[in-house]
Amino acid sequence: MSRSSAVLVGVWLAAVAAWPAAAVPPSGPVRAALDAELQAAGAAAQAAQTTGPADIAMADQAVLHLPRGYLWVPQPQAGRLMRAMGHAAGTRLLGLVFPQHEEHNWLVVAEFEPSGHVQDGDARDWKPDQLHRRLQERSVAANADRKARGVPELELGPWVQPPVYAPTTHRLVWSLQTREKGAAADAVQNIHYHAYAFGREAYVSLKLLTGLKHIERDRPHVATLLAALEFREGSRYGDFDAETDRVADHGLAALVLGTAAERPGLFALVAAFVARFAEVLLVAAAAGAALIVMRLRRR
């Protein structure tokens, strides 16, 4: 199977696995329409993808020197693929990174945020334990909102990667475990693995979507991509001009706390995909996956 085929099969399977266990998956015309859109979105992404090594422009302020072994899917194909997988694609989306290695099933979502200059002074004093307690406090209010909207409540687990900020390169990385409240001890653990590169008046975020059992294998890819990302001259963090540039209304700690409060969305989808790949392939998705593979092999 080619890497492009594997990516599209993974997308198809991930969308199937995304349905909550307690819910009834769509069937009949609805299921057929979803399948058709997934295959169309996957085919469009495959046609638009770029294989590394290549330089990928990031909102005219930064560039990603995509290394060999990685695939880049740009907008608007990336947004269509996200929507087909059941996750809203906002205006901040730049594109998606996939591994070219067929045995890996992770995904990185790249976004651009024109936040203004994010001051990093609070990173010198923060303590991971205190940040985690604040996250626990925020999760109480977030769960009340989820419950009111009929969305499963979440439990916060320990840090996978406590927040680490590099003041010389202006990079931030952190990761936290979450899972649905009341889930069994052996239930799929969703991973939020976030990396940020800060510039003069904006930042680029890289969000790794994978499962807990694969995080040690997959997170070095985030470090590789983060090191390959740089802001252009004039847009670098050190180019900030206090007299003319806008300052963001938050620091780094608020960024961690706010991002962690978001709904897991696609994080849960991909974690479910990683955990249920074999079962879905054999039971629910064999026919659809086979059609995608045959179509791409003919190409």
Q: Is 258 helix (H, G, I), strand (E, B) or coil?
A: helix
Q: Which residues contact 124 (CB under 8 A, 6 or more apart)?
A: 167
The pLDDT tens digits for 93-138 are 999 999 987 677 788 999 999 999 999 999 988 999 999 999 888 8
- The pTM score is 0.79
Task: Report the residue count for the chain.
Answer: 299
Confidence grade of residue 188 (pLDDT, cut at 50, 70, 90) = low
Q: Which of 36, 39, 109, 47 is nearest to 79 (CA)?
A: 109
What is the chain's mean pLDDT, rounded? 78
Architecture of domain 3-298: 3-Layer(aba) Sandwich (3.40)
